[in-house]
């Protein structure tokens, strides 16, 4: 297969998130409208389904924390805008939760196919549970794909946001199971000269030239 | 759409955004960032709203600075 793909595309980390203009429950929105802010673009299989409802409640729960981090939310499913409006009203009436973010009504599957949200092995007509984290420059920084049966973990999504923002701010990486406040990792040296310099630094958290931890930096 | 009803009247959020802009001929047109702050709508809504208003001729743009047009005053008075 060549680099020219036929059929649905798949976005790539580290590259510009595919642009789009879409009808949402808050009017017509373009991806570029979110420039200079972090954005979580996420898909769910269908309105008026139970796991998706718990996820919308979960996203609403973390919305204030996301706003503090200058992160916006934009949902998507292959449903009509009327379905979105009715479902959001239903969530408010039945669950007491006021969903604050817009939801793309992707009936023609344009955005879903642009972002590789449809997994035919699970459903040919519904998007999977996908999360795309896009930075203020419009670069795609992280992707999470979950199956239909498994609701997403909001704490993990927040954790990834914190890790990416920390990495951008201080040029560090985060180890497995990192949570805010825990030690971070210095990027490994990329040349033999830099490896020698790192060894010579005698940092307390260094295990070897490629592996150095240090306390999480702060302002 | 989000700001303008099919009959040409303004939605509540559309009216709020339009009123936050300086009037026609104002010597101090506004950036979208300033509009977002003044109107209280998120930046993505401010950008989408400006696009809608530009298409409807209710807002004019000059070097990424925006103000209401005379047509906007008519709609606001309705």
Query: From CA B69, how far away is CA B8, in angstroms rounded?
Result: 15
* Cα B25 off chain centre by: 14
Q: What is the 3-state secondary structure (H, E, C) of A107-164?
A: CCCHHHHHCCCECCCCCCCCECEEEEEECCCCEEEEEEEECCCCCCCHHHHHHHHHHH
**Residue B1 distance to chain A (closest CA, Å):** 6
- Would the pLDDT of A22 be above 90? yes
- Would the pLDDT of A1 be above 60? no
Question: Which of A22, A26, A30, A75 is the best residue to mutate to test the B interface, defined by the most B CB atoms within 10 Å of its own CB?
Answer: A26
Verify whether the Cβ–Cβ distance A32 to B47 is below 8 Å: yes
State pLDDT tens for residues A124-161. Answer: 999 999 999 999 999 999 999 999 999 999 999 999 99
Of B1, B3, B48, the CB nearest to A33: B48
A68 touches chain B (CB under 8 A): no
Task: Give the chain B residue nearest A74 (alpha carbons).
Answer: B44
Query: What's the topology of domain B12-77?
Result: Arc Repressor Mutant, subunit A (1.10.10)
Residue B1's pLDDT band (cuts 50, 70, 90):
confident
Task: Give the chain A residue nearest B14 (alpha carbons).
Answer: A27
Give the mean model confidence (pLDDT) for residues A46-71.
98
State pLDDT tens for residues A81-126. Answer: 999 999 999 999 999 999 999 999 999 999 999 999 999 999 999 9
| Chain A, chain B: beta-carbon pairs less than 8 Å apart | 32
Which residues make up the CATH 3.30.1020.10 domain(s) of chain A? 171-219
SS3 A33: helix
Which residues make up the CATH 3.40.30.10 domain(s) of chain A? 21-152
Closest CA to A134 of A213, A207, A32, A45: A32
Q: For residue A8, give both structure tokens.
A: 């649905």
Contact B64, B10 (CB under 8 A): no
Give the residue extent of every domain in chain B.
12-77
Which chain A residues contact residue B3 at CB under 8 A?
Answer: 27
- Would the pLDDT of B61 be above 70? yes
Is pTM, for the whole model, over 0.80? yes
**Residue B42 distance to chain A (closest CA, Å):** 9
Residues A21-152: name the CATH superfamily: Glutaredoxin (3.40.30.10)
Contact A172, A204 (CB under 8 A): no
Contact B46, B59 (CB under 8 A): no
Q: Which CATH number fits domain A171-219: 2.60.40.3080, 3.30.1020.10, 2.60.120.10, 1.10.10.10?
A: 3.30.1020.10
ipTM here: 0.89
Verify whether the Cβ–Cβ distance A28 to B3 is below 8 Å: no
Instruction: Tell me what pLDDT residue A219 has.
Output: 72
């Amino acid at each position: 297969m060549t680099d020219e793909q036929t059929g649905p595309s798949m976005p790539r980390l580290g590259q510009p998130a595919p642009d789009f203009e879409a009808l949402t429950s808050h009017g017509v929105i373009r991806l570029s409208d979110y420039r200079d802010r972090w954005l979580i673009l996420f898909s769910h299989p269908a309105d008026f389904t139970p796991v998706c409802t718990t996820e919308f409640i979960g996203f609403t729960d973390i919305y204030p924390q996301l706003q503090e981090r200058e992160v916006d939310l934009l949902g998507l499913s292959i449903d009509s805008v009327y379905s979105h409006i009715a479902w959001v009203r239903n969530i408010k009436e039945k669950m007491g939760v006021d969903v604050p973010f817009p939801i793309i009504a992707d009936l023609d599957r344009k955005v879903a196919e642009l972002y590789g949200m449809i997994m035919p092995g699970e459903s040919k007509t519904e998007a999977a549970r996908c999360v795309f984290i896009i930075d203020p420059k419009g670069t795609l920084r992280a992707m999470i794909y979950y199956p239909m049966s498994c609701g997403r973990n909001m704490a993990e999504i927040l954790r990834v946001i914190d890790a990416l923002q920390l990495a951008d701010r201080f040029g560090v990486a985060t180890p497995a199971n990192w949570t805010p406040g825990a030690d971070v990792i210095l990027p490994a040296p990329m040349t033999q000269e830099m490896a020698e310099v790192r060894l010579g630094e005698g940092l307390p958290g260094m295990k070897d030239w490629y592996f150095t931890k240090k306390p999480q930096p702060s302002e | 759409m989000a700001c303008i009803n099919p009959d040409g009247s303004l939605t509540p959020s559309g009216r709020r955004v339009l009123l936050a802009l300086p009037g026609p001929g104002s010597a101090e047109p506004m950036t979208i960032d300033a509009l977002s702050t003044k109107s209280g709508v998120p930046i993505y809504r401010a950008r989408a709203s400006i696009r809608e208003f530009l298409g409807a001729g209710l807002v004019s743009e000059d070097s990424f600075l925006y103000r209401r047009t005379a047509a906007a005053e008519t709609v606001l008075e309705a």
